[in-house]
């Protein structure tokens, strides 16, 4: 088995999300408007992040089933992936 590709994850060290609590990007127990407000707040951070493209590419290729990654919700990622088929 090859060793783990640690440099594959090095981009995460430059993510603006590191400066915020995980709950911002992985909102739990919120529904409706409160959930959308939290998602919008996370997306606003993502949109100014220097690793936005890399984060989004990772989330779409992994695929990440939860949270905000690359300014996209899990639902938005699922739609994007289904549109690509």
Binding residues for [4Fe-4S] cluster, as ranges, are 17, 46, 49, 55
Q: What is the dihedral of CA 35, 21, 44, 42, to 10 degrees?
A: -30
The SS3 assignment for 46 reads helix
Contact predicate 17/49, CB 8 Å: yes
Which residues are known binding-site members?
17, 46, 49, 55
User: Alpha helices of 1-85 — where are they, by DSSP H?
Assistant: 22-25, 32-46, 52-61, 74-83
């Amino acid at each position: 088995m090859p060793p783990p590709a640690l440099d594959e994850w090095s981009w995460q060290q430059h993510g603006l999300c590191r400066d915020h609590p995980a709950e911002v990007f992985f909102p739990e127990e919120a529904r409706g408007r409160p959930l959308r407000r939290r998602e919008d707040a996370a997306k606003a951070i993502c949109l100014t992040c220097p690793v936005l493209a890399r984060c989004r590419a990772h989330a779409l290729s992994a695929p990440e089933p939860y949270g905000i990654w690359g300014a996209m919700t899990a639902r938005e990622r699922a739609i994007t992936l289904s549109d690509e088929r």
